[in-house]
Amino acid sequence: MQTNPLPEEEEAQTDPKSSSSALDDVARVMEARLGLQPGRNCIVGEGLASVDLGLFLDEKKARGSECIGSLQISRSTLQVSLEIEPAAAESLAASSARLFAEAKTRRRVLQSFGWSVATLSEAEWSAAGEDDHKKVHLIVSCVNKALGHGEDGHHHHSSGCGCNH
């Protein structure tokens, strides 16, 4: 996985909707609370696509971590692209066939190179405010959903977190 950042104008053309502050905050929570090291603006398939945050998830590492263990990893190593969906994306996609087609093509290209694509709603992320615990749940839920494990995430803590699942 290459993690060369794209120049600002290329990045804007690739995904003009992505909010860099939300992206930075998601990366911060992944690093600080989940112990993950996401690559930012990773180039995939010799430049055919890029990902907001790229993760290599290792089943062995996940078993040894309380929070990462909440991710339901079914193969030894997975590549996950975590994309930030801007708050206005739903109405934008419905109003523009071109944007919808570009997003669909991008997702298919990523999948053809072995990436699972997780989408995190910027609106939900913002609604979590400063609560990193809620943000961890959002990350785990969207990644598990992308891995085909539904939205429940079955997030458990040995010490108990009071989150009722």
- Is the domain spanning 8-146 CATH 2.30.230? The answer is no
CA 101 to CA 105: how far, in whole Å? Answer: 6
Q: Where exactly are the structural domains of the chain?
A: 8-146
Pairing mode, if any, of strands 77-85 and 115-121?
parallel
Structural element, H or E, at residue 56? strand 49-58
pLDDT score at 45: 86
Tokens of 110: 């990523």
Collect all residues with Cβ–Cβ distance below 8 Å to 93 and sequence separation of at least 6. Answer: 99, 100, 103
Q: How many CA atoms lie within 13 A of 79 on its CB side?
A: 16
CB contact set of 76 (below 8 Å; sequence gap of 6+): 58, 59, 60
Is-contact 29 132, C-beta < 8 A? yes
pLDDT per position in the chain (165 positions), as tens?
A: 444 444 443 333 334 444 689 999 999 999 999 888 999 988 988 888 988 899 988 766 554 454 555 565 555 668 999 998 887 655 555 568 888 888 889 999 999 999 999 999 999 999 999 999 999 999 999 998 988 876 544 444 444 455 544
